[in-house]
Amino acid sequence: MSNTLADFAPGDLAGRKAVVDELTTIRANWKAVRHEIETGEAPKQATDAPKPTEIRLGMSEAQVKAEIQKNQVNLSKLRRKLEDKPGDKKAGAWEADVARLTALINDYRAELVRIQYE
């Protein structure tokens, strides 16, 4: 199948893309089959859930406190990473996560105050 790529005109990117996409799909399927043969189980599908940027409303006081604590732990880990590896290629993403977590913690603290004095 990869030999058919030479049959396309030099500027025919759309025709080549279809063949390359098909090759990529076939290779991914074979990789999944090899993994299943070697391990006896199907490969896990990657689920990149989006990271929350807003607080969840309608939570109890204990749930809000738990969210604050969880986010503070994650924030501490990220800050430590940034201190240990400031030149890492993921440093920009870590800094964005620090800002996101800081905002979430502040919002959860405001929600906690609202719950306590409501």
pLDDT truncated to tens, each residue of the chain (118 aa)?
Answer: 777 877 888 888 888 888 888 989 999 889 988 988 988 888 777 667 788 888 888 899 999 999 999 999 999 999 999 999 989 999 999 999 999 999 999 999 999 999 999 8
The pLDDT score that the predictor gives to residue 108 is: 95
In this prediction, residue 76 carries a pLDDT of 97
Secondary structure of the chain as H, E, C letters: CHHHHHHCCCCCHHHHHHHHHHHHHHHHHHHHHHHHHHHCCCCCCCCCCCCCCCCCCCCCHHHHHHHHHHHHHHHHHHHHHHHHCCCCCCHHHHHHHHHHHHHHHHHHHHHHHHHHCC
